[in-house]
Chain A
């Protein structure tokens, strides 16, 4: 992970000379010279140093999360091998034989060794990209189960969280600008909806739209019996099954985002630059754009902060709609005490959240010049 960060640093001296020379020949002006070299300094020290620091922090977080991922599933009650034994030991009456099979699996998974040793084996495997074999779906490797579930989860959650964020911000901005009826009806309504716990809202949607009205299917990611392949029938089935889990995630995230955006926009609308722009004759629609741009910035931070919570809520939605994503797999793994699968899924979720936060941080640096300056410092 630290390799790609170092590389640009090494490369700099090569292309460092070029812009400086061309800058000199274009502008013999002193000031342009200063700005060129300060731009170079900015690129060399500020960004690289900042992002190296951030990367290290993310790695530390990742390691801490991986350790917790190892420990927490092992604190669960229940016998992790029960699932396998149920399948394998069917029809066996000889207790001795059953015990032999049991010990065979115990040794295979390394469960007979001390926890510390298991810990090091687990991490050793992790570094080789090996997440182990699933207990409950033995002998499928965990990575195989996860790679089947991840597209569903990303396909559902990324659009849903982004849609919720965008609609929420939009509503918040309008509420700040229009006030009156909009502020008194739409805002409380969206807040009310967001106040419902994630599982509650999903269950309500399921009961109303799937069971009572029958507009949408009740469970799954596609019609039961269809084999996943590229055809119109399959795609339309996916879209049909997509609606309820999607809107349950969107509705949950709207209210909180709208509330934040509304207060940020009200604050920005009273900022000095808004008044000045008005007195310079800038038209209101443009000023609204200025305000939106500035009020949006803390919302990006808000998104980064609430991403973990959102992901949690989204996983609950998956479980309730039996969507074939990570959430449903996680629930199954937890039920059956499948340590490797639980650890693997939570690790992947952690990586996804951390990666998105990291991405948001980079985006934030690009869209807010003030942060750019601080990152440089």
Chain B
């Protein structure tokens, strides 16, 4: 087992709404990420994927607030650090972020190179213009961007170029963990593939050490990441390797999620898509017991009352279900 880069223990963060209500959008999330590995987070919209991404940065500003739990990056507990220290010592160098809206992520009135200068000078105020320029140019080449793009404003770049520019800026300080929040959702399939390939290349080259990839497209994750975590109503419901999660999902929600998509393989032409009935719970008032119980067709009355803990299974798998692995397999066999 290689070195653990990111360790998250029982992380809880909340949004405070205008009416002073607490909405726990990340609730009791724990996982470990090892060096050289990538993990995907999947779930339907509003389940807290993006909030989890923001929470992992360890830098909170309203309306998002930290509640409890710990984030440890490379042995350093960033949840104990002062916000300003996190900003200077963690953001960009330890953990970096590719936002969901990469199209609008660049300041419209600042040239790309100027922004890169700003970013690098946060961590190294003495960096010379030439060093910054050389590094930026080298990274741009790596991402197949013309070096002229450095001297342009974001409006002068095409959508795909903006996307790659944001990737280049996010990884400019060689972060240990890169969080990509749906970096490809606004792109066509070919550009998606290119973006993913680039991030993978960056990892192969050791520029980034590990990656968290957030998406709502499960099949995409199968091709991109080593592990997959499925999130439902602010909690992780199941964790496992990509193979396990795609071909052998255990949790009823993961199973439902897999059943609701088409996999481009033989036999899918005849397969039926089954949607999961119902809607996700309101996070302002999460239900007692298992949060998926309302919509779960295997739920027993106990599910709605008992608090469900994460159970550790063989092969490093984790599942948040009242039923054991054996029981779940029994249930699925009947169908």
* Chain A interface residues toward B at CB < 8 A: 31-32, 35, 271-273, 275-283, 286, 290, 293-294, 297, 367-370, 373
Contacts and interface: CB of A to CB of B under 8 A. Distances in A.
Given A271-B104, A272-B99, A278 B59 contact: yes
A297 B106 CA distance: 17
Contacts of A281: 87-88, 90-92, 119, 122-123
14 contacts: A272-B104, A272-B105, A273-B107, A276-B105, A277-B118, A279-B57, A280-B97, A280-B122, A281-B91, A281-B119, A283-B87, A290-B110, A294-B109, A370-B155
B42 interface: no
B118 A273 contact: no
Given A276-B166, A373-B156, 16 more contacts: A31-B148, A272-B104, A272-B105, A276-B99, A276-B105, A278-B61, A279-B91, A279-B99, A280-B122, A280-B169, A281-B119, A290-B109, A293-B110, A294-B108, A369-B108, A369-B156
A273 B118 CA distance: 13
Contact of B109 (A276, A280, A367): A367
- Classify the secondary structure of A's interface with B: helix
Contacts, number: 77
B146 interface: yes
A369 B109 contact: yes
Q: How large is the interface on B (under 10, 10 to 19, 20 to 34, 35 or more residues)?
A: 20 to 34
Given A278-B59, A280-B119, A281-B122, A368 B91 contact: no
Contacts of B133: none
Contact of B108 (A32, A273, A276, A283): A273
Given A31-B148, A35-B148, A370-B155, A279 B59 contact: yes
B91 to A, nearest CB: 4
Contacts of B96: 279-280
Interface string B148-169: 1000010110000000001001
B101 interface: yes
B93 to A, nearest CB: 8
B13 interface: no
B118 A373 contact: no
Given A32-B148, A281-B123, A294 B107 contact: yes
Contact of A279 (B97, B101, B106, B123): B97
